Every structure is written in structure tokens, then in C-alpha cells.
């Protein structure tokens, strides 16, 4: 009998079925140990020696593995096929060796890219040793993140009150978001005009042609800059006769995109499905680990953390056979398509994300998947099979037309394209809402029959005014794409990076757009001013490249750390001489557009409007930064920081307003049932859709846009789906009463017999079936009215608090999931699944909550510390103060006011 170790219990269950009775498959539940969240876990003075700690829950799992080893013939480490998976195997083996649980028995490492029976059994035939180069790269990355977090974060706490922490990759990602916001603030809109003519052929067909030249001068886009010039050219076109100079039809081809990588999957799921990066990875993990397909549990997709775009040869052959079977031989290209990535620093160590079997079409597995799983599998399957299909053949037609007004001449042009052979586009034709048609299909519309030298009749000339728009804010998808282009981070880190920025309240997400909070702008400005090198894009990308070279065995990991630490430590030491005035001067200059926006009357934005003589400046208080007057205390004028660019009115540059007409209304189309217009409107309480105009006192049907839906991308189908809510899901199997799904004040819900239960997302309102609805209602009833209160059973026990002691647990509460430690309850941020919460995340949430809400400390803790400020903020290296510091932490808010002085805060872990 052999013991096999994998990460998750669901993966263990699936693999156990494949291997049979000769194996015992156990789950490690991810990493079994980590660096303790305290000083000294990585010691540069000892050549970067590292101390590891096994938490309580992991200790039990290690014991289970060690007990199983007593009667086993050997150990097989089968964790994920990437750097993190290699590290988990190394940790498990190291802990078992220290417990002397191996006893000379053989230890092997196996990897498989897909959890199917054939892939797993084949991997078992080809074992290897642990790849030490991959482990070294993991150790280097973990040490770098620890050293940056534990040394840079305290600088922030001392010099920039209110800032939480800083980290190696997250700080650079935050800079990208803040730089884009600053670019938007600096943007100056410019006027331009477009002119076009509606023309009619001799056969009576109308088409539109746009102005491209006038009076012998070629017009570039946005060349017409004012109404006077536009009206002059409009008069020329109004009085002109029109003749076709040439008609040219050119055949072109469009090739399919490669299969998904982690990054491109997250981007596609965000833009087409509205999934966050973390949600995409959660659903992909389930599809990878295995779904019960008619009594057989099988992984539906390959490993989902990869930057490779190539498929295995056998998968390419299978895809080509599936194309021939489902679309016809003409859709199979002459040669297999091979791809290479364009992303900077891509490793391409693994296959792209693809279906494990192209014969399992989305329709065939539909009944086994929930709504989100089906949507994501559908994306992966179509992208995978399309990647091995023939090119689309498109004929693009360009018509050049001369406009002659008494010798004053202009040129207008009409373009159109026709798909002569759809090729790979056929894979997407039943899902046009995916956006594939707009990317790869008929962009310009089809032109009527037009012949050279024939005359055309002018019907109308249009002159439309436009204004240039600032670059859009990043979405999760576009930020991930930018990070990948720059070589910042790795596929496995993108979702965690974005989650960290949200959890620290450095950014907010509004209608899928990432908006930096004032706190995030301050942190970025501080780092750019005093730690410039460490938030530079090239520096971070070069460091990622060095980590990749460590993976390949080309660099010594400790030498990389030595080189980094030498300069970084010197920079940290230099900040000790920084005065608050130095920090404020730098921030005032860096954040001037945010802190001191221009005034309408043109006066100096830094002059205090209360006293008229003082100068406004950033001030740093214990609760963060604010703006105050230099004449304090005589003038007590203060105001909070606020992110600019919000509350734009329709037509004034707001993201929604820019998409609406001058009257704040945009027609999306007509309701096929009533024939009434479906419109998008901006009102007092935000953007909404409306059906018709109403008659007399009867109000028209309306629906607000759900959170996360963008007005700019809303189409008629989605608007009609909103207006059709609530929808009937079906009859409850027990009493026959109807179950409805709808969108209410507190979000998406299902309703049965007057009882409500929340759904996970707005998308589920439109897709939830009767089985899921009954299950959600039953779970809500089972929890009862007191669900989530102190006495409720925890969903998950994380183990003992690493510094304070006592259990940390995860609960389902009345107002959402939360983590609990002692008397402190901390809400889990939206978008984070309760089962995905780690001890590190829980500790950070609990610490933040304890700092916001006064909590009475135990009497023993109050006696031991005297005053909490002194105990909590004692340097972490003083072992004597450790226990009293731990016990007093929850009393921070209640006792901080008593402390006569503030000492330097103990260092904390920032991030991975």
C-alpha cells in the first residue's frame, strides 16, 4: 500500500477512485506550514535562514499522513504541477522527515495536468524526485515577499498613519491603478466632428460613407476641430454630386486565438460573464478537480494556473477529430495550429487550459454543472476547439466616392465586409453575446451592390460633434492583461493580488472599474517618492525574470536575495531620517490634482476659503490623512480626502453619462412583445432601464442596473431580462407553490410562500433552476433566524491564532460570512468565499476589526499590560513582552487613549 498526498479533499476523492485499493489518498489542504507572522522568520544576517510553523489544523493532517505511513510501502507526492505545488510537496516531506515518519521508504513525486483516469495512471508510471530548482524559486519568492512586507510596512505605519501595509507585487499593481487615475485627472477633452453622407444607389439601396478628404487634403481622424470648419465642409457635401470612383474587394483571413491561459481566461470570464478573477479561479478549480458525470467523477479541464498557450499533441489530434465530427472536414486546417505566447517572461511550462475531452460538449455536460460551471466550461471548450479550426475567410470591400461641388471636391469612403466562410467563428455562432462575432466577424456591415463610375443620390449629410474621452479606468480583466504584458506577477498570483488591494481598502470596484481610494493614492505617492525603484515596472518584472531563472536552475536563489537585500535595506535605513514635513511636501506635490483640485474662479486652490490667508496642506493624523489649514489652531478648517472623478452628470464625462444622449436617454431597442422602446436612463438614484413611457398616471416598468453591470456595455437582451424580473422558477415539489427569482433591495433572491433566500450573484437570478432554488431555501430555513450568532456551529476552524492564541473560526452570519476570535467578529469581504479564507487573511481582518471597535480586554490582560498602547507596540524582538502583547491586542481601541506616548509598531507580515 502506498500513501498519496494531494492538496484538496475533492481531488483526493477523485484520485482514490482511479487508483483503487492499493493506495491511500490523503489531502494536505494546501500548505501545511508557513513563515510565522513575526520578526525573525527570515534572517538576512544568517544567509536568509527561514523558520517555518505548522498550524493546528495542518498538524492534525500531518499526523494522519504520518500514521498512514506506518503501514505503507512508500510515499507519493501528487500535488499540483507548478512551483506552488512543488513547494507543498517539499514542505510535507520535510515535516515528515523531521518526525522520522518516512523510515527509509521510497518517496516519489508525480504530476498530472488533468485529473482523468488515463492522466493519473500515466503519471504514476513516470515518477520523479522533487524538483529542487522549483522549490528554490518558491523559497526566494516567499522570502522576498516577507522581507518587503515586514520592513516596508512599518515605515508606512510610522511615516503615513492610516496606511495598512505594502508588498512587492501588490504595490506595483496599485501604482498601475493610481497612475491611470492621475492620467484621467490630467486629461483635457478636445472637440472634433465627424461628417458622413447617406447615399442611394440607382437600385434604391442606401448606405453611409464618411468624409476622408476635402479640397485635395487628406483628413486624419479628429482633424475637424470646430463647428465652423464642420459647417463649411457640410455645405460642400450638401451641394455636391456623387460618383463612384472605385470599388475594391479584398479577401482577408482571420485566425483563431490560442487556447486560454490563466490570464486570458480571467479576462474573458470578466468581460463576458462578469466573473471576478477570484470567482473564475474558484469555478475553474472545481472543473479541474472533478465533477460527477453520471456516476463517474472526472476533471473536465486541465490545470488552470498556466501561462502556456500550447496543447499536448494528443489533445491537438483529439480537437481536430472533434472539429471534423461536429463541423465537417472543411473546418479542419491542413496542418495543426501551433501557438507561442507573447507575454513577457512567460514560462510555458504547462499546457494551456483546455477540455480534458473535446467529445464532452457543453450541451452534453449541462445537466451535471451549476450555472457558473457551465458558463466557464463553455468558454474553455469553445476557445479550445476553435483554436484548431480553419481560418475565417472574409471579403472586405472599400468604395471610394468623389463629391464634386462646382469644382470643390471631397472624397467619401464606404467600407463593408462579408464572411465568405465562417471557419472557427462557427464555434461561437450559438453564443453571439460572447463577443466573438464582433472580434472575428463582420465588423463594418454589408454594403449593397455598388458599381464603379455610377452616380449616387445624396439623401442626407450628417455632421456630429464629439469630444475625446480620457483613457478608461482599469477593470480586473484589463489590469491583469497589463500586468501580464509588463511581466509583473504570475498566473497564480493575479486573483490574490486584486483581493489584497480590495481587502486593504486601497481600491474599490464600481461597475467593474477599479477606482483607487484616497488611502491607496497616498500609499502609492509615498512609495513613488521614497521607494521609487521598488514600484518601478521594469524592476519588478526583472525580479520576476530572476525567479524564473532560479526555477530553471540558472541562478542561485540566495545570491538573488543578497543582491536585493543590500540595496533594499539601505533604502529602509535612509527613511529613518525622514521627517513628516518631508513626507507632506512630497505628497502635496504628487497628489495636487486629487488634494487641491482647480477652482472655477481660477483662484489658488491651496488658499483656505475659511480664513482667507492660511495655506491648505495634507496633514497626518492617527486615523489617516486629511486636509487642514496652516493657521491652525486659529483656523480649524479641515476636510477629508476624496477620490476625484465621481458623480459626473450625464454628458459631463461620467462613464454612464458619456454613453447616454444629451437628454440622458439611450434607446437600446424595442421589446418584441409590446413594440415599446427599451431605454437606458440616468436618474436621481443611478442608471436604470425603462420600458415605454407610461400612459396617464400609469408608470412605465423600470429596473435599476445591478451592481457590477456597466451602462456602457448593456444591450437589449440583458435589459429585457432585467425588466422581466421577477421570473418564475417553477413549483416547489412539496407544496406546489411557485418559486420566484428576482432582484431586491438586498440583492438577488429566491422567494417561496413569503420566505426569501439570497442567491450568490445577479447572474444566478436568470439561470437558477428548481433544484438549486429549493436547496437555497432549505439551507436558509435550516440556519434559522439565529444563524450566524455566537452559538452557531463554525463552517471552518482555521486553528489557533498565531500570536494571541485561542481558536479562529469561520461562520455563516445573518449579514454574511465572518471570522471569529474570542469576542471579535470580523466580516469577510464580499467576493471572498468563506471556505477560501486563510489564517493570514483571518488574522488581518480580526486585527482591523479590533482596531475599529472597542472591545473589553480580559482582566488578566489589563493587569499584565497596564496600558495597551505600550504593550501592543513594543518591539517584536523582545520576547518578554510577547505574551502581554498578545493578550492586550483586542483591547487596543479601548485603551489607546490612555497611552501617554506611541511607540513604533511591531512588524507584521504584509503579503505574499
Nearest Cα neighbor of 484 from 708, 271, 169, 179 is: 169
Neighbours of 209 (CB within 10 A): 24
DSSP H or E run through 910: none
DSSP labels for 736-764?
Answer: --EEEEEEETTEEEEEETTEEEE-S-HHH
CA-only gyration radius of the chain, Å: 31
Q: Is 546 exposed, middle or buried (0-12, 13-18, 19+ CB in 10 A)?
A: buried
**Terminal CA-to-CA distance of the chain, rounded, Å?**
37
Per DSSP, the three-state class of 400 is strand
**849 neighbors 880 (Cβ within 8 angstroms):** no
Burial 389-423 (b: 16+ CB within 10 A, else e): bbbbebebbbbbbbbeeeeeebbbebebbebeebb
Q: Is the peptide bond before 726 cis (omega within 30 degrees of 0)?
A: yes
Bridge-based pairing of strands 2-6 and 23-27 is parallel
Distance (Å) of CA 320 to CA 353, 359, 420: 17, 11, 22
DSSP H or E run through 465: strand 455-467
The catalytic position among 303, 331, 494, 534 is: 303
DSSP H or E run through 235: helix 227-238
- How is residue 644 written as a grid cell? 476625484
State the alpha helices, DSSP H only, in 70-131.
83-98, 117-124
Write the CB contacts of 311 (distance below 8 Å, at least 6 apart in sequence).
259, 319, 351, 352, 354, 384, 387, 388
What DSSP designation does 413 have? E
Nearest Cα neighbor of 561 from 24, 50, 30 is: 50
Q: At what angle do helices 132-159 and 168-186 cross, to 10 degrees?
A: 60
Neighbours of 326 (CB within 10 A): 14
Nearest Cα neighbor of 544 from 908, 145, 277 is: 145
Rounded CA gap, 56 and 272, in Å?
A: 41
Distance (Å) of CA 75 to CA 92, 112, 116: 11, 17, 21
**691 neighbors 673 (Cβ within 8 angstroms):** no
DSSP H or E run through 460: strand 455-467
Rounded CA gap, 810 and 833, in Å?
A: 11
Distance (Å) of CA 149 to CA 155, 182, 205: 10, 26, 67
Per DSSP, the three-state class of 42 is strand
Helix, strand, coil in percent for the chain, rounding step 5 = 40, 20, 40
**714 neighbors 274 (Cβ within 8 angstroms):** no
Q: Largest alpha-carbon pair distance within the chain?
A: 100
Concerning whether 815 is annotated as a catalytic residue, the answer is: no
Rounded CA gap, 179 and 170, in Å?
A: 14
Task: Report the catalytic residues.
Answer: 303
Amino acid at each position: 500500500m502506498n500513501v498519496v498526498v494531494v492538496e484538496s479533499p475533492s481531488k483526493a476523492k477523485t484520485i482514490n477512485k482511479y487508483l483503487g485499493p492499493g493506495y491511500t489518498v490523503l489531502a494536505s489542504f494546501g500548505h501545511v506550514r508557513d513563515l510565522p507572522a513575526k520578526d525573525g522568520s527570515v534572517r538576512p544576517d544568517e544567509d536568509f535562514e527561514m523558520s517555518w510553523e505548522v498550524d493546528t489544523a495542518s498538524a492534525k493532517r500531518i499526523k494522519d499522513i504520518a500514521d498512514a505511513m506506518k503501514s505503507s510501502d512508500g510515499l507519493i507526492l501528487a500535488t499540483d504541477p507548478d512551483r506552488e505545488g512543488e513547494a507543498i510537496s517539499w514542505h510535507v516531506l520535510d515535516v515528515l522527515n523531521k518526525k522520522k515518519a518516512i523510515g527509509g521508504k521510497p518517496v516519489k513525486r508525480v504530476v498530472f495536468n488533468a485529473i482523468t483516469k488515463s492522466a493519473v495512471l500515466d503519471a504514476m508510471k513516470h515518477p520523479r524526485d522533487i524538483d529542487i530548482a522549483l522549490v528554490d524559486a518558491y523559497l526566494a519568492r516567499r522570502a522576498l515577499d516577507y522581507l518587503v512586507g515586514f520592513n516596508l510596512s512599518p515605515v508606512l505605519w510610522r511615516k503615513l498613519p492610516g496606511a495598512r501595509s505594502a508588498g512587492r507585487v501588490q504595490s506595483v499593481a496599485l501604482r498601475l491603478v493610481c497612475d491611470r487615475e492621475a492620467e484621467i485627472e490630467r486629461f483635457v477633452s478636445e472637440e472634433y466632428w465627424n461628417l458622413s453622407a447617406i447615399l442611394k444607389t440607382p437600385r434604391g439601396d442606401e448606405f453611409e460613407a464618411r468624409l476622408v478628404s476635402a479640397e485635395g487634403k487628406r483628413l486624419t481622424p479628429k482633424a475637424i476641430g470646430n463647428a465652423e470648419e464642420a459647417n463649411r465642409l457640410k455645405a460642400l457635401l450638401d451641394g455636391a454630386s456623387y460618383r463612384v470612383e472605385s470599388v475594391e474587394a479584398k479577401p482577408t483571413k482571420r485566425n483563431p486565438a490560442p487556447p486560454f491561459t490563466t490570464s486570458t481566461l480571467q479576462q474573458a470570464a470578466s468581460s463576458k460573464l462578469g466573473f471576478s478573477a477570484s470567482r473564475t479561479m474558484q469555478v475553474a478549480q472545481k472543473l479541474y478537480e472533478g465533477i460527477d458525470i453520471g456516476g463517474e467523477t472526472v476533471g473536465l479541464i486541465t490545470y488552470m494556473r498556466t501561462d502556456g498557450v500550447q496543447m499536448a499533441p494528443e489533445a491537438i489530434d483529439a480537437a481536430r477529430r472533434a472539429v471534423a465530427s461536429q463541423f465537417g472536414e472543411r473546418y479542419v486546417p491542413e496542418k495543426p495550429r501551433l501557438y507561442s505566447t507573447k507575454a513577457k517572461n512567460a514560462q510555458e511550462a504547462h499546457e494551456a487550459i483546455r477540455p480534458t475531452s473535446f467529445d464532452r460538449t457543453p450541451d452534453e455536460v449541462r445537466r451535471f454543472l451549476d450555472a457558473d460551471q457551465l458558463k466557464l466550461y463553455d468558454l474553455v471548450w469553445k476557445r479550445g476547439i476553435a483554436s484548431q479550426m480553419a481560418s475565417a475567410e472574409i471579403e472586405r470591400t472599400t468604395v471610394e466616392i468623389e463629391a464634386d461641388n462646382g469644382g470643390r471636391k471631397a472624397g467619401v469612403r464606404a467600407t463593408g465586409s462579408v464572411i465568405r466562410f465562417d471557419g472557427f467563428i462557427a464555434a461561437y455562432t450559438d453564443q453571439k453575446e460572447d463577443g466573438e462575432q464582433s472580434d472575428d466577424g463582420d465588423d463594418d456591415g454589408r454594403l449593397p451592390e455598388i458599381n464603379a463610375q455610377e452616380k449616387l443620390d445624396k439623401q442626407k449629410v450628417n455632421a456630429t460633434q464629439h469630444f475625446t474621452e480620457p483613457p478608461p479606468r482599469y477593470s480586473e480583466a484589463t489590469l491583469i492583461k497589463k500586468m501580464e504584458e509588463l511581466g509583473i506577477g504570475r498566473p497564480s498570483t493575479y486573483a490574490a493580488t486584486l483581493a489584497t488591494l480590495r481587502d486593504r481598502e486601497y481600491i474599490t470596484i464600481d461597475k467593474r472599474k477599479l477606482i483607487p481610494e484616497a488611502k491607496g493614492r497616498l500609499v502609492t505617492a509615498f512609495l513613488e517618492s521614497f521607494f521609487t525603484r521598488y514600484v518601478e515596472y521594469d524592476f519588478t518584472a526583472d525580479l520576476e525574470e530572476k525567479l524564473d531563472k532560479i526555477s530553471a536552475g540558472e541562478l542561485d536563489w540566495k545570491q538573488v536575495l543578497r543582491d536585493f537585500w543590500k540595496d533594499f535595506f539601505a533604502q529602509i535605513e535612509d527613511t529613518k531620517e525622514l521627517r513628516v514635513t518631508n513626507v507632506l511636501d512630497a505628497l502635496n506635490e504628487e497628489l495636487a490634482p486629487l488634494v487641491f483640485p482647480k477652482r472655477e474662479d481660477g483662484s489658488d486652490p491651496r488658499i483656505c476659503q475659511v480664513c482667507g490667508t492660511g495655506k491648505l496642506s495634507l496633514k497626518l493624523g492617527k486615523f489617516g490623512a486629511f486636509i487642514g489649514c496652516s493657521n491652525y489652531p486659529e483656523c480649524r478648517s479641515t476636510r477629508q480626502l476624496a477620490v476625484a472623478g465621481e458623480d459626473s452628470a450625464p454628458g459631463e464625462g461620467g462613464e454612464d453619462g458619456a454613453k447616454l444622449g444629451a437628454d440622458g436617454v439611450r434607446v437600446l431597442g424595442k421589446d418584441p412583445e409590446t413594440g415599446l422602446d427599451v431605454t437606458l436612463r440616468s436618474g436621481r438614484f443611478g442608471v436604470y432601464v425603462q420600458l415605454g413611457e407610461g400612459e396617464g398616471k400609469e408608470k412605465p416598468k423600470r429596473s435599476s442596473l445591478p451592481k457590477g453591470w456597466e451602462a456602457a456595455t448593456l444591450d437589449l437582451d440583458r435589459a429585457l431580462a432585467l425588466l422581466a424580473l421577477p421570473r418564475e422558477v417553477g413549483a416547489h415539489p412539496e407544496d406546489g407553490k411557485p418559486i420566484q427569482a428576482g432582484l431586491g433591495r438586498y440583492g438577488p433572491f429566491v422567494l417561496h410562500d413569503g420566505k426569501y433566500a439570497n442567491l450568490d450573484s445577479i447572474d444566478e437570478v436568470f439561470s437558477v433552476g428548481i433544484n438549486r432554488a429549493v436547496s437555497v431555501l432549505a439551507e436558509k430555513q435550516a440556519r434559522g433566524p439565529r444563524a450566524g450568532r455566537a452559538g452557531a456551529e463554525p463552517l471552518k476552524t482555521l486553528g489557533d491564532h498565531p500570536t494571541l492564541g485561542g481558536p479562529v473560526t469561520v461562520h455563516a452570519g445573518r449579514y454574511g460570512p465572518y471570522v471569529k476570535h474570542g469576542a471579535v467578529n470580523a466580516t469577510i469581504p464580499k467576493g471572498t468565499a468563506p471556505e477560501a479564507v486563510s489564517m493570514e487573511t483571518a488574522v488581518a481582518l480580526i486585527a482591523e476589526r479590533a482596531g475599529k471597535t472597542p472591545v473589553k480586554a480580559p482582566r488578566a490582560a489589563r493587569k499584565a499590560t497596564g496600558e495597551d498602547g505600550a504593550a501592543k507596540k513594543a518591539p517584536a524582538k523582545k520576547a518578554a513582552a510577547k505574551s502581554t502583547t498578545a493578550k492586550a491586542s483586542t483591547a487596543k481601541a479601548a485603551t489607546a487613549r490612555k497611552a501617554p506616548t506611541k511607540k513604533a509598531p511591531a512588524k507584521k507580515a504584509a503579503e505574499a
